[in-house]
Amino acid sequence: MSSKALLGIVAAALLLVLPLLGVDDYYLHLLIMGGIFFLLSAGMNLLLAAGQLNLGHTAFFGIGAYASGLLSLRFDLSPVFTLPAAALVSGLVGWLLGMVTLRLRGAYFVLVTIGFAEVIRLVATNWMDLTQGPLGLAGVPPFNLGAERFALAGKRDYYYLMVLLAGATLWVTARLLRSRVGRALRAVRENESLAESSGISAYHHTMLAMVVSCLLAGAAGGFYAHYITFLSPELFGFQNTVTMAVMVVAGGQGTVLGPAVGALVFTFVPELLRMAAFYRMLLYGVILLLVVMFMPQGLVFYLRRLLASGTPAPGEPTSDGAAFEAGAAAPAPDPALSLRDVTVRFGGLAAVEGLDLDLARGEILALIGPNGAGKSTAFNVVTGFQPPDAGRVHFVGADITAEPPYRIAERGLVRMFQRTSLFPDAAVLDNVLTACHRLARTGLLDVLLMTRLHRIEEQRLEDRARAILAFVGLSHKGDELARSLSCGEQRLLGLAIALAPAPSVLLLDEPAAGLNAVETGRLMRLIEGIRARGLSILLVEHDMKLVMGVCDRVVVLNYGVKIAEGTPAEIQRHAEVIRAYLGSGDALARP
C-alpha cells in the first residue's frame, strides 16, 4: 500500500476516535466549525480550479442555512429532510446565477459575485416577514434523524455527522478533481480556447463546478443552522467569504486536501491566538501575510515537498503505444469538409469574401496566401470561433455554421492553433490526456462512484495519450511540464493535443512556423503518417517546401478572395499567384 494511502487511513482513524480520546468540547467545536468551513472552501476550490473566483460564496452558505432553518421552523419538518433540501435550494440558486454570470470572466465575475452576495444580504436584512431581518431566527431545531426523539445531543453527535459530511465532500471533490472533470476544469482555466477546441465546453464545466460548490455550501449552511440554532444576516457578510478564500488559497488551491488543511489551520490559528489578547487579529494578519509571501502555492504543496521522498515512479504504459484509434473509422460522405460562399467582414473590410472550398476525404489540402489574406479568419469560421456574415460550412454532410467550438470539436473537426497553444502548467502527458475528453463515454455518476467501467476507461485514455505521444516522438517528456519544452517540442505537443480527440478532419494553422529544416522534415513525415491513419487535413502554411512536399492540392487566397486552386505544380506556375507573392520570390523556391 502506498505511503499516501496509509497516511490517509491513519488520519481517518484518528478523526473517528478523537472524541473518545477525551478531546474537550471546545476543540470538538473548533473541529466542527472547521468542517463547516471545509465544505465551503472545497466548493470554492472546485470553481477556482476552472479559473472562476466566487467571492459571493457566503451567500450560498446563508441561503442554505436560512432555507433549512425556515423549513424546519415553519413547516415542522425534520432537519434530516431540510438539510438536503437546503443544499438543493442553494444549488438551484447557484445554477440560476451561473446562467446569468458565467459568461463573464476573471475580475468581472469576481465583482458580480461580490455584488450578488451583498444584494442577498440586504434582502435577508430587510425582508422582515421572511427572515425576521436583523432580529434573527432563534430556536432552530437541533438536528434529528427523522423525529425529535432521534435528536442529536452532545458535541460528539454533531462531530460525527460533520465527519460524515466532510468525508463525503472529500470523496466528491477528489473524484471530480482527479478525473477527466478535473482535467477539463483546469484546461478551461489554463487555456480556454484550446479546451473548447478539444471538445470541452467551458460553460458546461464551470456550471458543473458552480452547482456542486453551491450544493456543498447549502449543506454546510443547513448543518450550521441546526448546530448553532440561531441565524442572523451576518452569515452573508463579506468577511466570511474572505475567510474561505484564505483557506482555499493558503491551503493550496487546485489540490484536494488544500481546503481541508486550510480550513483546519485557519479555524484553529485565530482561536489559538486568543491568548494574544489585543494583538490577536494583528498577529493573525501577520501570519497570513507570511504564509502568502513564502508559501504562495499553499501549505499542501510545501507539506508534500517536505514529505516526498524522491521522484514519483513514472506510470507504466500497458500497451505498446504504436496503435491509437484515429477518427475516420467509418465511411463518411465526401467531401469531409466544405465551405460555400463564406464571407466575413470586420467593419468595412472583407477579411474573407465568397469563399468556396472542398476538402475530400483522405486529402491533404493547403490554404496559402500572403499575410492578411484571410486564412486564419477562414479557420476561425470553420472551427466556430468566428461566425460568418454569409455562407455555410458543412462537415461530413452536417451544417456546422456558427456552432460553438466545443460542439464542432465533438463532431470530430479539430484544430491546432497558429501560435503555440498548450496547457502550460500541466504535464505533457496530462495535456494530451485532457484533450482526449470527448472520447469518454462514462457518465458523471461513474466518475463519482469510481466504477470499474470508469477506471477501465481512464486507463484506456491514458494508454491512448501515451500512444499519441509516442507517435509524435515525445514519450520521454511525458512527466515534464509543458512550459519547459523547447519551441519545436511544444509544436509537436500541440499536434498531439489536436490528435487526441480522434478527429476525422484536422486543421493545422502554420504548423511549421519557427521550425528549422530538420524539424520541418519531421513534421512532414508526421503529417503523412496522420493521413495514413485515415484523417483528412487542411493546413495553412507559408513554408513552401512543406506545402509542395506533402499536399495533394493547394488553394490560394489573396485579400480574402480565392485566386487559384490546383496541384502544387500548377500553383507554382500560376501567373496571378506569382503576382500576389511579388516581393517574396524565395517563397516559390522549387522543392
Partner 1 sequence: MKIFRVITLAALSAFAGVLAIGAPQAQTKTPIKVGLIQPLSGPVAASGSYITNGARIATDRVNAKGGVLGRPLELVIEDNKSDPAETRNAAEKLIVRDKVPVIIGAWGSSMTLAMMPLAAQHGIPIVVETSSSGKITDPKTPGQKVVSRISPTSELEAVGAGALIPKLGMKKIGYMAVNTDWGRGAVAAFGEAFKKNGATIEGVEYVGQADTDFYAQLTKFKAAGVDSIVITDDAPKTAKMLQQMKELGLNVKVLVTGGSAWPDSIIQLAGPKAAEGAMFINFYNPYDHAMAGDPDASKAYVKEWKKRNLPWIGIVEGMRGFDAVNVVAKAIEAAKEPTAPKIMAALKRIEMRGLYGLIKFDQNGQSYCNIIVAQVKDGKYGVVAMTPSSKLWEMSAAK
Partner 2 sequence: MLAELVQHVVNGLILGGGYALMGMGLTLIFGIMRVVNFAHGELFMLGAFFLYTLFSLGGVNFFAACLLAVAGVALVGAIVERLILRRLRDQPIEIPMLAMVALSVIFQNAAILLWDPSPKTVRHPFSPVPLTFGPIHVVAIRVFAGAVAVALIVGAHLFIQRTRLGRAMRATFQDTDMARLTGVDVDRIYMFTFGFGAALAGASGALLGAVFWVYPAMGDLAALKSFAVVIMGGLGNFPGAIVGGLLLGVAESLGAGYISSGYKDAIGFVLIILLLVWRPQGLFGKKGLSR
Residues that bind partner 1 (CB under 8 A): 24-27, 29-30, 33, 125-126, 128, 133-136, 138-139, 228-230, 232, 234-235, 237, 239, 265, 268-269, 271-272, 274-275, 277-278, 280-281, 287, 290-291, 293-295, 302, 306
Q: Which is nearer to partner 1, 280 or 345 (CB)?
A: 280
Q: Which is nearer to partner 2, 11 or 100 (CB)?
A: 100
> Would you say 137 and 66 are in contact if contact means Cβ atoms under 8 Å apart?
yes
Residue 587 contact among partner 1, partner 2, none, beta carbon within 5 to 8 Å by kind: none
Q: Which is nearer to partner 2, 86 or 249 (CB)?
A: 249
> Would you say 217 and 66 are in contact if contact means Cβ atoms under 8 Å apart?
no
Residue 106 contact among partner 1, partner 2, none, beta carbon within 5 to 8 Å by kind: partner 2
Asked if 443 touches partner 2 (CB under 8 A), the answer is no
The Cα 406–Cα 201 span in angstroms is: 5
The contact pattern for partner 2, residues 268-307, with x = CB under 8 A and - = no contact, is: ----------xx-xx-xxx-xx--xx--x-----------
Q: Which is nearer to partner 2, 377 or 520 (CB)?
A: 377
Q: Which is nearer to partner 2, 110 or 390 (CB)?
A: 110
Q: How far is the CB of 72 from partner 1 (least distance, A)?
A: 14
Question: Which residues neighbour 25 within 8 Å (Cβ) at sequence distance 6 or greater?
Answer: 154, 155
- For 390-413, the DSSP string reads EEEEEETTEE-TT--HHHHHHHTE
Number of residues that bind partner 2 (CB under 8 A): 41
Q: How far is the CB of 78 from partner 1 (least distance, A)?
A: 18
Residue from 14, 122, 272, 532 touching partner 2 (CB under 8 A): that is 122
Residue 25 contact among partner 1, partner 2, none, beta carbon within 5 to 8 Å by kind: partner 1
Secondary structure class of 505 (helix, strand, coil):
strand
Closest among 463, 458, 127 to 323, alpha carbons compared: 463
Question: Residues 361, 364, 370, 375: is their CA dihedral positive or negative?
Answer: positive
DSSP annotation of 134: G
> Would you say 313 and 271 are in contact if contact means Cβ atoms under 8 Å apart?
no
Residue from 37, 38, 61, 116 touching partner 2 (CB under 8 A): that is 116
Asked if 246 touches partner 2 (CB under 8 A), the answer is yes
The grid cell for 351 is 477579411
Terminal-residue alpha carbon distance, the chain: 59
Beta 364-368 vs 137-138: how paired, if at all?
unpaired
The contact pattern for partner 2, residues 29-68, with x = CB under 8 A and - = no contact, is: -------------------x----x---------------
Asked if 481 touches partner 2 (CB under 8 A), the answer is no
Question: Which residues neighbour 359 within 8 Å (Cβ) at sequence distance 6 or greater?
Answer: 335, 336, 337, 338, 365, 505, 536, 538
Which window, 26-34, 215-223, 238-246, 513-521, contacts partner 2 (CB under 8 A)? 238-246
The Cα 469–Cα 479 span in angstroms is: 11
Q: What is the CA radius of gyration of the chain?
A: 28
Residue 108 contact among partner 1, partner 2, none, beta carbon within 5 to 8 Å by kind: partner 2
How many other β-carbons are positioned within 10 Å of the β-carbon of residue 154? 10
Which residue, chain included where needed, has cell 466532510?
Answer: 166
Closest among 455, 459, 444, 36 to 209, alpha carbons compared: 444
Secondary structure class of 416 (helix, strand, coil):
strand
Q: Which is nearer to partner 1, 29 or 178 (CB)?
A: 29
Q: Which stretch of DSSP H or E encloses residue 139? A: none
The Cα 570–Cα 556 span in angstroms is: 12
Residue 16 contact among partner 2, partner 1, none, beta carbon within 5 to 8 Å by kind: none
Residue 48 contact among partner 2, partner 1, none, beta carbon within 5 to 8 Å by kind: partner 2
Residue from 6, 16, 25, 106 touching partner 2 (CB under 8 A): that is 106
- What is the contact surface with partner 2 in residues (CB under 8 A)? 48, 53, 100-101, 103-108, 110-112, 114-116, 118-119, 122-123, 125-126, 238, 242, 245-246, 249-250, 253, 278-279, 281-282, 284-286, 288-289, 292-293, 296
